[in-house]
Every structure is written in C-alpha cells, then in structure tokens.
Amino acid sequence: MTAYHTRLTVTCSPQLTELLIAELAEIGFDSFLESETGFEAYAESDHYDHEAWTEIRERYAAQEPLSFSIDKIEKKNWNEEWERSYEPIIVDDQCIIRAEFHQPARRYSYELIITPKMSFGTGHHQTTYLMIRAQMKMDHRSKRVMDAGCGTAILSVMASKLGATEVEAFDIDEWSVTNSRDNIELNHCININHQIGKLSALSFDGKFDIILANINKNVLMDEIPLYASYLAPGGQLLLSGFFTEDIADLITRANPFGLREAGRGEKDNWASLLLQR
C-alpha cells in the first residue's frame, strides 16, 4: 500500500516564512523545504490540526497577502530531499555554517557544523546570520554566556568557539534540546550546558557577561527585565528576531533597566540590537 504525505505549499514573504514554519511545527507538520517564494510543509497523511491551520492562515493573512495549496504526494525520504537543497552559509568571509554531510572548509576562521532537523537556526535566516555576524565582533574570551531560546544551539557553539568559558543554553522545545545536544557534540564543545525550560522557570547562580536571545519581539519585550537581572555590570545583551521598525520599542523597553544601545545590524528588514549595561 502506497504511503502519502500531506503537502502544504505556502507563498509568502521571507519575513513570514520562519514565523509560519514555527507555528506549523506545533500543529503536526514535521518537515519543511524553503524556496525563493515561500516554503513547503509536510505532515504524515492528515495528521495535523486542520482548525489550527485555518486560524494561523487567517491571522497571518491579515498582516500581508499569502497564498497556499494542499495536496497529497507519495511519501519520500525527506532527509535526502533536504540535503540536496541545504547549502552552507558564509558569514563575512570568516565563518562557514555547514551540515555534517558537507565537505570541511578549512580556510575560514570559524566552522560551525549544524544539522537543524526540526529546530531553528542554521544561518539561512536573516536573524541567525545577524547574530553570528554580531558575535564575531564581540569579545567572548573568558566570558560566561547565556543562550536564551537556543534552537539548534548555533549561537552557543559560536560563543564556545569564540572563547567563552561557560555557556548556559535552554529552549522550551524538547526537540530543540535534543538537536542542541547533537550539534554540541558535533562541534566538540564541552563547555555548553543545555536544558529544557523557559527563563522565568529556570534558575541560574551568578551573572552573565553576554546574553544572546534570537526569539521574537513579543518574547523579548516580556523577558528584557529577566535578561537585565542576570546581566553583569558592563555585560552585553544581543537580541534579534524582530524587524528594523521594532528597534525603537526594544530600546524604550530596555532603557529603564540600565541598558543602552551599543550597536545594531540590519538585513532584509530584519534587525539585531546590541545593548550594554
């Protein structure tokens, strides 16, 4: 008997792609292929929440035009399909982000081996790219680092390779923690501790010199007071996951906690923001 997948093809802007993928991963879709016009999402037969998809579609359609189609296709080895489309990312000709099946590239100062599976953060999205670019300009040597919402642990791995002595990484998604463990081992980073949970439910002893958070504006606005409470005097808070027009709101939120802008980055209307105590 032939097995089938449900395929959802979505046409949307790059700005919405990651947001929609994150939402669809929560309602039963388990594989994704990005394209220049949007992405495809796959679920086992009809094993996804139809009502939830309708709500997500209507909510995002109110923000910008998007189109979609749903069909059934014969089940394939999506890992092989994904490997054909996944290309290494080069950041400022200094860092290469590649999967384990790519050939090593020794000419770059930093090499990150990241296999994302169902977690987010490969360097392909603008926000992850901006975070890695900003990290390479920051002094991580002998620093204690927090990676809030670590996803694939790509920022943790970068921090470790930049000389951090200790990295605390966490994510609310159990799959992300499993994926983080794999990527940490692939990169031989023995100084990264990772766990499941959200910051408000976790407890850490002492302060951090650097806090990294690539999440989304709403979560960042909510958690800035917590980040500030864990940040050491002179510490740096690097944020991304929002648009350039959101920078002012984040700065206004951060200022009462003694955090001032120390730098920013922009790429395709996405932004990063460096704050310092």
* Segment 210-243, tens digit of pLDDT: 999 998 888 899 999 999 999 999 999 999 988 9
Q: Of the ranges 111-115, 171-175, 191-195, 216-220, which is most confident?
A: 191-195
Give the Cβ contact number of residue 82 at 10 Å: 17
Which whole-number Å values give the CA distances from 253 to 137, 198, 221, 224, in the listed order? 24, 20, 7, 7
Sign of the alpha-carbon dihedral angle for 85, 88, 93, 95: positive
The residue among 120 and 209 whose pLDDT is bigger is 209
pLDDT confidence tier of residue 62, bands split at 50, 70 and 90: confident
Q: State pLDDT tens for residues 67-93.
A: 999 998 876 555 555 555 667 889 999
At residue 165, what are phi and psi to the nearest 5 degrees? -85, -30
Q: Which of 28-32, 76-80, 203-207 has the lowest average pLDDT? A: 76-80
Which whole-number Å values give the CA distances from 122 to 59, 98, 150, 224, in the listed order? 27, 8, 12, 24
At residue 240, what are phi and psi to the nearest 5 degrees? -160, 180
Sheet arrangement for strand 38-44: 31-34, 38-44, 4-11, 67-74
Task: List the domains of the chain with CATH numbers.
Answer: 4-83 (3.30.70), 88-276 (3.40.50.150)
For strands 95-98 and 166-171, give the pairing. Answer: unpaired
Which whole-number Å values give the CA distances from 77 to 4, 74, 83, 159, in the listed order? 12, 10, 10, 34
| Contact assessment for residue 11 and residue 38, using Cβ atoms and an 8 Å cutoff | yes
Secondary structure E strands in the chain: 4-11, 31-34, 38-44, 67-74, 89-91, 95-98, 110-113, 144-148, 166-171, 192-196, 208-214, 231-243, 260-267, 270-276
| Chain center to CA of 217 | 13
Q: State pLDDT tens for residues 115-164.
A: 766 445 565 778 899 999 999 999 999 999 999 999 889 999 999 999 99
